[in-house]
Amino acid sequence: MCQYLIEGDLMGPTVSKEKDKDNRFDFCKLELGKDDNIATVYREDGVVAFMDANPAVEEGHVLVVPVKHYSFLTDMPPEEFAQLALVVQKIAAAVKRTYNTDSVKIEIFDGKGTGGTVNHLHVHVIPRYENDGFEPNSGKPVYWKTYSERHNGAKPSLDKLRSVAKKIAENIPK
């Protein structure tokens, strides 16, 4: 199942246009052990955090991903999930510091029924602010337009994503 490369254009510098049998993307051949093709924020013990190539906000949307492939949260051994959670916690703290907010949205799409487009377990960490237009308890549909939807199909460049990654990395708790 892990047969994907990163140089495609559909999701920018993150994954290729190749999809699995369910028409979903995968991160496996991102070569997550290297920083060549992703805007790495942080890596530790089988987990890597990098910038989303089509973020839900202008800046600061980070993905935290186990290097080893798991399609579902329930497939991941508890000790590996614990490591993933520790990295998510560090990234959330860094995003809060970087963007001067006390709020982050932490989200996991577990299975294709959730609307997720990537067949590889990953956690979204997204900075949030009061009155930012995303109102999950308002009765309105809960949806943010992606970067490319807000910018006529454009994606942030890998250089831009790396610049943002560096800012966030500088704020990771020691």
Which residues have a catalytic role annotated? Answer: 122
Element (H, E) at 21: none
Q: What are residue 73's phi and psi, to 5 degrees?
A: -55, -40
Which residues, other chains included, contact 109 with Cβ-Cβ below 8 Å and sequence gap of 6+?
115, 116, 118
Three-state DSSP class for residue 85: helix
Give every strand in the sheet of 47-51, ordered side by side.
40-44, 47-51, 62-66, 123-128, 103-108
Which residues, other chains included, contact 57 with Cβ-Cβ below 8 Å and sequence gap of 6+?
126, 127, 144
Q: Which amino acid is at 46?
A: G
